[in-house]
């Protein structure tokens, strides 16, 4: 999987198309990611000792990794990702601009 936690991504399809956000969580076994502010669902919580009031909360749900692309902030556009070796280490780079990812 070419996307990691804390990467900036742009949603390329679906009702949240065009939204840019940070990856919160990654699930490589199912090829899914959670993106900040994308695919919000309402969760009903019963009152408990930790949360004595309970209530309805909004939280991010999983989205398939094929629906997002890494966002290159210098090129201001989503870009595909490649791998190359730099100083003996494998690094990710944006194919659109050639810049190394973080």
Interval 14-24: pLDDT, tens = 999 999 999 99
17/70 Cα distance (integer angstroms): 14
Does residue 33 carry a pLDDT above 90? yes
Domains of the chain are 8-94 (2.30.30.30)
CA 95 to chain centre: 18
Element (H, E) at 73: none
CA distances to 30, 49, 62, 93 from 24, rounded to whole Å, are 16, 26, 10, 21
Query: How is residue 67 annotated by DSSP?
Result: G
Q: What percent of the chain has pLDDT over 70?
A: 100
Predicted confidence at residue 57, as pLDDT, reads 95
Does residue 102 carry a pLDDT above 90? no
- pTM of the predicted model as reported, rounded to 2 decimal places: 0.85
Q: Using an 8 Å Cβ cutoff, are 60 and 39 in contact?
A: yes
Q: Using an 8 Å Cβ cutoff, are 42 and 58 in contact?
A: yes
pLDDT class of 43 with cuts at 50, 70, 90: very high
């Amino acid at each position: 999987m070419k996307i990691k936690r804390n990467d900036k991504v742009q949603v390329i399809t679906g009702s949240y198309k065009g939204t840019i956000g940070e990856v919160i969580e990654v699930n490589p076994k199912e090829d899914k990611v959670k993106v900040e502010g994308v695919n919000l669902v309402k969760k009903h919580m019963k009152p408990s000792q930790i949360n004595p009031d309970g209530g309805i909360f909004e939280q991010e749900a999983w989205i398939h990794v094929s629906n997002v692309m890494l966002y290159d902030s210098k090129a201001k556009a989503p870009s595909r990702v490649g791998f190359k070796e730099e100083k003996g280490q494998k690094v990710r780079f944006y194919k659109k601009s050639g810049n190394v990812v973080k």
